[in-house]
Amino acid sequence: MADRWAEELLEALGGRAVDYYVVHHMEPDHSASMKRVLSMFPGARIVASAKALRMMNQFLNADMSAVTDTVKEGDVLDLGGGTQLKFIEAPNVHWPEVIMSYLPAERTLFSVDAWGRFGPGSADYEWMAGARRYYFNIVGKFGAAVLKVLDKASGLDIARICPLHGCPLEEGIGKYVSIYRGWASYEPRMTASPSSAPPSTATRRGPPSMRRKLQGRWAGPPPSSTSWSRTPRTRSKRPSGTRR
């Protein structure tokens, strides 16, 4: 796979050299080929967050400071010819060193793990099928961090989202942003009618304070027990002279 990736990279470059190697995320499934790329383009400068640089030094077992330019929120990298790359810090989406980038000239957001999905790489694969499972497995517990990034991205003119997993998203960007905001906010998608929902186990057996709260929400029969105390275990007395 690494050989194929290197071949496709060289083909896409068409003989051009690499000036900057932008590191958005240091998780090994994305950074395992760093040494190979740097050996292919020894003159390239690495661009990464300060936290990514610290990880890089550990992962590669080398001090990469001399060849790395660290960037932070709001920094801009001039790529020449009027083309710029703007950086957006996105810690814990889903690792702490993550930084996204935005290419205004092409209205493209490089979103790292955000809006990624499981499944084949073909563009005709239905996004929601793999995106929901990917989100809640990879970044689901970092909802607050995702919401912060969404607030930052709301001020950008985005026509294309390029995640590290899955294909670029180019149509209905607002829909994808709305879906992510709902997931990050932990908004329920299904509701139950209080008049028809059965009492939960907590309602029937929970402590009195919990039962009172839940009974106010759900209609159902009163709990059959009001005690959480354990029934003392009794031990029968064995006749003298018997062995266990």
Q: Which long-range contacts (CB under 8 A, 24 or more apart) does 212-219 make?
A: 218/194, 219/194, 219/195
Collapsing DSSP to helix, strand or coil, 203 comes out as helix
Q: What is the CA radius of gyration of the chain?
A: 27
Angle ∠(95,147,23) on CA atoms, nearest 5: 35
Calpha distance 129→122 (Å, rounded): 13
Main-chain dihedrals φ then ψ at residue 111, nearest 5 degrees = -95, 5
Tokens read off for 57: 């030094």
Main-chain dihedrals φ then ψ at residue 109, nearest 5 degrees = -105, 125
Angle ∠(106,44,89) on CA atoms, nearest 5: 50
**Which amino acid is located at 45 in the chain?**
R
Fold that domain 73-214 belongs to in CATH: Metallo-beta-lactamase; Chain A (3.60.15)
The residue assigned the tokens 């001399």 is 66
Walking along the chain (244 residues) 10 residues at a time, the average pLDDT comes out as 83 93 90 87 95 94 95 96 95 94 97 90 76 92 94 94 91 92 84 50 53 51 42 52 55
> What are the structural domain ranges in the chain?
1-70, 73-214
Residue 166: predicted pLDDT: 85
Tokens read off for 61: 């077992």
Q: Please, are residues 108 and 162 in contact by the beta-carbon 8 Å criterion?
A: yes
Calpha distance 184→153 (Å, rounded): 14
Residue 243: predicted pLDDT: 56
Q: Hey, how many other C-beta atoms are within 10 angstroms of the C-beta on 185?
A: 13
